[in-house]
Amino acid sequence: MIPYILLVFFLFYASFLGKNKWLQLFSFLVIFIFTAFRAETVGTDTKGYIKLATYFSDFRLFGESSNSFEFAFQSLLYLIKSLGLSPVFLQVFFAIITLSVMYRAFQKASLNPVLSFFLYVICGCMFFSFNAARQMTSISFVLLSYTYISNNIYKYILCFVFAAGFHISSLICFPFFLLSYFDISRVRGIWLIIISFFANIFLFNTIYYGFLERLVAGSFYAHYLDVIEKPAELSFMGKIFNLLNVILFCISLYFARSVKGVYISIFVIACALSILFSGAHVYVTRLFIPMSYVYIIFYANVFCTMRNNVYRLFYAILFIFIYGYSFYYSMADNAGGIMPYKLM
């Protein structure tokens, strides 16, 4: 637990030291080391990825069998096999690609890249990459695509080619280019999030078993619903944290006066869906993860554009209470096999 806590404190402190490029690069390298050189016991899927790299033989069409994957991921496996590298290099390559693309997205869109790196860790993105490396790599390209959404449709499409090449679920975000033609206002966004909160409380089962089943019917992900049991009702603490998230989302939108409209629109859609399906099975929530990590850019920009220090302090305390608790709980509960942390 101590290595993770030290990492969080370092990034938190570094985020207040300005936009020093060397500090940004050092923050990148520290997270890279944590991710690339972790032991195979850190993360429940780490051994599985190493096994895939060990026994990879030839390309297979995506969806052809349970052992077939997207083209970019298979290309990465082929590269490792062709160069005669150790299978553990797979997680090194994943870390290089994911964090480099993420860093580029932060440089282009975040007002404080080091703060976004801090959010990357405390919001659970790093832990997620330990267990869903393909999807996290895909998400990094999705985040980069947002920087081209209004000015370069060709680079936007290219980002999604690479994103889908690692995890097909990223295509759920592709229609976001339409948001360059219309924006969701901050006021409408707040109302949409509030409506989603009450819909989750009173209409969850109807939405869960009605809309969602139709959404994935006949798709590659339809088989996930076969293994999903009826979701348990959120605990009292779960409902409290859901409410706190709604408050944080709404406050963020209220103060997002200087944030680009397209990021507000994506943030609203991501928040509304995360609240609406709060309490759903992990297989369901993972469908919406590609759009949700816009938080790590949006929160940083909202905080940096707040002018009143009292508001900034309150905002920071609320944020750290919610995500700090979730971060600690992930470690205490050993979620995703992230504990204990060891280097390879």
Please list the residues that pair with 343 across neighbouring strands: 38
pTM for this structure? 0.90
pLDDT score of 179: 83
Residue 32: in which H helix or E strand, if any? Answer: helix 21-36
In this prediction, residue 323 carries a pLDDT of: 93
In this prediction, residue 215 carries a pLDDT of 60
What backbone phi and psi angles, to 5 degrees, belong to 47?
A: -65, -35
pLDDT of residue 273: 87
Helix (H) or strand (E) holding 133: helix 133-146
Which residues are CB-neighbours of 6 under 8 A, at least 6 positions away?
none
Residues of the chain falling short of pLDDT 50 = 66, 227, 229
pLDDT in tens, 274-285: 888 777 666 667
Q: What is the pLDDT of residues 320-329, one digit of tens each?
A: 999 999 999 9
Give pLDDT, residue 261.
Answer: 81
